Amino acid sequence: MEKILTFAVPCYNSAAYMDHCVETLLTGGDDVEIILVDDGSVKDDTPAICDRYAERYPDIVKVIHQENGGHGEGVNQGLRNATGLYYKVVDSDDWLDVDALQQVLAKLRECARWPEPLDMLIANYVYEHVEDNTQRVMRYRNVFPEGKVFTWDDMGRFRPSQYLLMHSVIYRTQLLRDCGLELPKHTFYVDNIFVYQPLPYVKSIYYMDLDLYRYFIGRADQSVNEKVMVGRVDQQVRVTKLMIEAHDLWKVKRDYPRLGRYMLSYLSMMMTISSIFLNISGTPESLGMKTELWEYLRTVDQALYHRLKYRALSAVGVFPGYQGRKLSVSLYHVAQHIYKFN
């Protein structure tokens, strides 16, 4: 039986929480394929748990044991081995709403019968904050039309805090392969590449106003924890540079004006985040890295450099001098308190 949707679940020492994730995916039944990628786990029973699921559900679950390659290589392995028409990444500490999943699968089954299969399906995701047990739903009602297939020309404007994340997208598997998506190994924050690099290849989109993905946030060791991000800021910079190289955004803007506008905003946000965390680090090496990042953008595309540096979002991260850096960090913490994004 052909699978409609492949879930790739990168697992690294995930024994404490991965069962909840996998059990929600299993409710998809025979329509789904679940690829558990054990990324060199050695500290707990993750490899054995993966094998147990494969033995119990041999027609649904596949297991790949690999040497540690990082989250991106887990996504890559899933994509290399996926047999489903569509592809979604689910982190092992997150989970899906089972009722919403059934509705998404029904729509994807319908899409599979079309002469030209849909390229991307978008749904909402929910921040599940562990510290205060609160939720925050990220919806796209103001951006995308509902109940019909549309293109980038039909897209509205994103709010400043609103972006497509890995949690919100389901791609057609072959589209990801055709666009040459290959995430770097041993690098955090590659999910930004996943929701940026393929976009100009997407020609047909469908939005479902469903709260599908539950994003668990607030664990001290998570990659989006502020202290962790400061310690890994070099990897944030690496991802940002790869995104700078990924596309000629002026061409994208000519071909797809609304998509180009969004991608400019997304890259601006990435430059801002990198600059902010380099400011928070505050070491001479970090401040030098910030200067080098902006100079790198200038060498790649001088017009893009000026566009991003002087738009309001990016300017938060590039105020000059000590007081400017202090102000940018303060503004970041205000936004963090309001939007609770890490």
CA distances from 276 to 67, 82, 217, 280 (A): 33, 37, 20, 6
The pLDDT tens digits of the residues spanning 288-328 come to 999 999 999 999 999 999 998 876 455 555 666 655 556 55
User: Could you report how far apart the first and last alpha carbons of the chain are, in Å?
Assistant: 40
Contact 89, 8 (CB under 8 A): yes
Nearest to 123 by CA among 91, 154, 99, 152: 99
Antiparallel, parallel or unpaired: β 120-129 and 134-138: antiparallel
| Distance in angstroms (rounded) separating the CA atoms of residues 313 and 43 | 41
CA atoms within 13 A on the CB side of 270: 29
DSSP labels for 45-105?
A: SHHHHHHHHHHH-TTTEEEEEE---HHHHHHHHHHHH--SSEEEE--TT-EE-HHHHHHHH
DSSP labels for 97-130?
A: -HHHHHHHHHHHHHHHTSSS--SEEEEEEEEEET
Q: Residue 225 burial (CB < 10 Å; 0-12/13-18/19+)?
A: middle
| Distance in angstroms (rounded) separating the CA atoms of residues 110 and 89 | 21
CB-based contacts of 63: which residues, under 8 Å, 6+ apart? 35, 36, 38, 50, 51, 53, 54
For residue 327, the model assigns a pLDDT of 55
Query: Which amino acid makes up residue 23?
Result: E
Mean pLDDT of the chain: 90
Query: Which amino acid makes up residue 97?
Result: D
pTM exceeds 0.75, yes or no: yes
The pLDDT tens digits of the residues spanning 113-159 come to 999 999 999 999 999 877 678 899 999 999 999 999 999 999 999 99
Query: Which amino acid makes up residue 181?
Result: L
Instruction: Give the H or E element holding residue 331.
Output: helix 321-339
* 122 backbone dihedrals φ, ψ, rounded to 5°: -120, 135
The pLDDT tens digits of the residues spanning 21-68 come to 999 999 999 999 999 999 999 999 999 999 999 999 999 999 999 999
